[in-house]
Amino acid sequence: MDYDLKDFHRRAVGFFGSRVAEIRDAQWHDSTPCTDWDVRALVQHLVYENVWTAPLMEGATLDEVGDRFERDLLGEDPKAAWDEAMQEALGAVQRVDLDKSVHLSRGPTPASQYIFELFSDHLIHGWDLARAIGADERMDEDMVQVAFDMFKPFEEALKQTGLYGPKIDPPEGADLQTRLLALAGRVA
């Protein structure tokens, strides 16, 4: 499938953001499928990822960014913090040359690979957030297809990183979204 990576990133960020908009005041400390994070910590994670996006896409190194984002980024208005970080990240992704290298902890990485990681993180965590707050869990079929096609060949390696949950075997005849979530260690 041919796809516009920057557009898919924008759509995945929108999927997560639409779930942020649905969080009710009483839900910020509800549990999520990410057992170490409640709703607030999950949103903090994506805000943190988004505030790093602009400086990295603009060529900053980890040392140059330093520890300026090592704090509670949500403050008193988590939804506004999300919106601000999201806008900066979306702009940075739209401006970057996909062939450019960005500086990550693992070393220089093509911007296109980093954008795919951001896309998939927003997509999967969008489902996590939807599940946590009782919102619509359906993901865009095209985004699910792209994420599945990219993840499936690396399933075992992804599990070994510890970034994804335990290996889950989806039920026989499961739809693609259920199979993608199983790859990411989630039970739909």
| pLDDT single digits (tens) 106-128 | 999 999 999 999 999 999 999 99
Percent of the chain residues past pLDDT 90, beyond the cut: 86
In 50-117, the DSSP E strands lie at 101-104, 107-110
CA proximity to 34, closest of 146, 163, 179: 163
Mean pLDDT computed over 170-174: 95
Helix 39-57 to helix 111-133 angle (10° resolution) is 160
Q: Average model confidence (pLDDT) for the chain?
A: 94
d(CA 1, CA 32) in angstroms, rounded, equals: 32
In this structure, the dihedral spanned by the alpha carbons of residues 30, 36, 42 and 47, taken in order and rounded to 10 degrees, is 150
Range with the lowest mean pLDDT among 4-8, 64-68, 115-119, 163-167?
163-167
Token digits of residue 16: 């997560």
Amino acid at 106: R
Judged against a pLDDT cut of 70, whether residue 1 lies above it is answered with no
State the distance between the two ends of the chain, measured CA to CA, in whole angstroms: 25
CATH annotation of 5-154 = 1.20.120.450
Residue 64 clears pLDDT 80, i.e. is over it: yes
pLDDT bin (cut points 50, 70, 90) of residue 151 is: confident
What pLDDT, on the 0 to 100 scale, is given for residue 75?
Answer: 97
Structural domain spans, the chain: 5-154
| Rg (the chain; Cα; Å) | 16
Taking the model in full, what pTM does it have? 0.95
Measure the CA–CA gap between 181 and 183, rounded to whole angstroms.
Answer: 5
The Cα 56–Cα 151 span in angstroms is: 23
Per-residue pLDDT band at 27 (split at 50, 70, 90)? very high
Spatial CA neighbour of 164 closest among 183, 177, 143, 145: 183
Lowest mean pLDDT among 91-95, 144-148, 164-168: 164-168
- Residues in contact with 102: Cβ distance below 8 Å, sequence separation at least 6, in sequence order: 56, 57, 59, 96, 108, 109, 110, 111, 114
pLDDT on residue 32: 97
CB 123 within 8 A of CB 12: yes
